[in-house]
Amino acid sequence: MTAAIIDGKAFAANLRAKVGELAASFEAKAGRKAGLAVVLVGEDPASQVYVRSKGKSTLEAGMNSFEHKLPADTAEADLLAVVEKLNADPAVDGILVQLPLPRHMDEQKVIATISPDKDVDGFHVTNAGRLAVGQPGFVPCTPLGCLMLLKDRLGDLSGLDAVVIGRSNIVGKPMAQLLIAESCTVTVAHSRTKNLADVVKRADIVVAAVGRPEMVKADWIKPGATVIDVGINRVPAAEEGKTKLVGDVDYAGVAEVAGAITPVPGGVGPMTIAVLLRNALVAAFRNEGLDLPADAI
Ligand SMILES: NC(=O)C1=CN([C@@H]2O[C@H](COP(=O)(O)OP(=O)(O)OC[C@H]3O[C@@H](n4cnc5c(N)ncnc54)[C@H](OP(=O)(O)O)[C@@H]3O)[C@@H](O)[C@H]2O)C=CC1
Ligand SMILES: Nc1nc(=O)c2c([nH]1)NC[C@@H]1CN(c3ccc(C(=O)N[C@@H](CCC(=O)O)C(=O)O)cc3)C=[N+]21
- List the chain domain ranges: 29-124+271-286, 141-268
Residue of 295, 257, 26, 251 whose CA lies nearest to 148: 295
Residue of 228, 124, 213, 136 whose CA lies nearest to 170: 124
Determine if ligand 1 sits within 6 Å of the CB of residue 212: yes
Task: Say which ligand is closest to the CA of 101.
Answer: 2
Q: Model confidence at 84, in pLDDT bands (50, 70, 90)?
A: very high
Fold category of 29-124+271-286 in CATH: Rossmann fold (3.40.50)
Q: Report domain 141-268's class.
A: alpha beta
- Mode of pairing for the β-strands spanning 233-236 and 243-246: antiparallel
- C-alpha angle 1-152-146 in degrees, rounded to nearest 5: 90
* Over residues 35-61, mean pLDDT: 94
Ligand 2 atom closest to the Cα of residue 123 is 1
Determine if ligand 2 sits within 6 Å of the CB of residue 98: yes
- What is the C-alpha to C-alpha distance for residues 294 and 181, in angstroms, rounded to an integer? 17
Helix (H) or strand (E) holding 261: strand 260-261
Q: What is the pTM of this model?
A: 0.98
Q: Model confidence at 97, in pLDDT bands (50, 70, 90)?
A: very high
Determine if ligand 1 sits within 6 Å of the CB of residue 166: yes
- What is the C-alpha to C-alpha distance for residues 212 and 151, in angstroms, rounded to an integer? 26
Determine contact, residues 118/94, Cβ cutoff 8 Å: yes
Mean model confidence pLDDT for the chain: 97
The ipTM is 0.98
Q: Tell me which of 15, 47, 144, 191 to substitute to probe ligand 1's pocket, judged by most ligand atoms within 8 Å of the beta carbon.
A: 191
Assign 280 to helix, strand or coil.
Answer: helix
Determine if ligand 2 sits within 6 Å of the CB of residue 96: yes
pLDDT tens for 146-186 read 999 999 999 999 999 999 999 999 999 999 999 999 999 99
| 29-124+271-286 and 141-268 have identical folds | yes
Q: Is the dihedral of CA 261, 264, 268, 274 positive or negative?
A: negative
166 is in an annotated binding site: yes
Selected residue with higher pLDDT from 293 and 93: 93
| Residue with CA nearest ligand 2 atom 17 | 269
Ligand 2 atom closest to the Cα of residue 99 is 8
Ligand 1 atom closest to the Cα of residue 142 is 3
Which residues fall within 8 angstroms of residue 50, CB to CB, at 6 or more apart? 98, 273
Q: Model confidence at 108, in pLDDT bands (50, 70, 90)?
A: very high
In order of 91, 99, 190, 287, the CA distances from 178 in angstroms are 30, 22, 18, 24
Active-site residue list: 54, 98, 121
183 is in an annotated binding site: no
289 is in an annotated binding site: no
- What is the C-alpha to C-alpha distance for residues 178 and 158, in angstroms, rounded to an integer? 12
Q: Is the dihedral of CA 75, 78, 80, 83 positive or negative?
A: negative
Determine if ligand 1 sits within 6 Å of the CB of residue 69: no
pLDDT of residue 296: 83
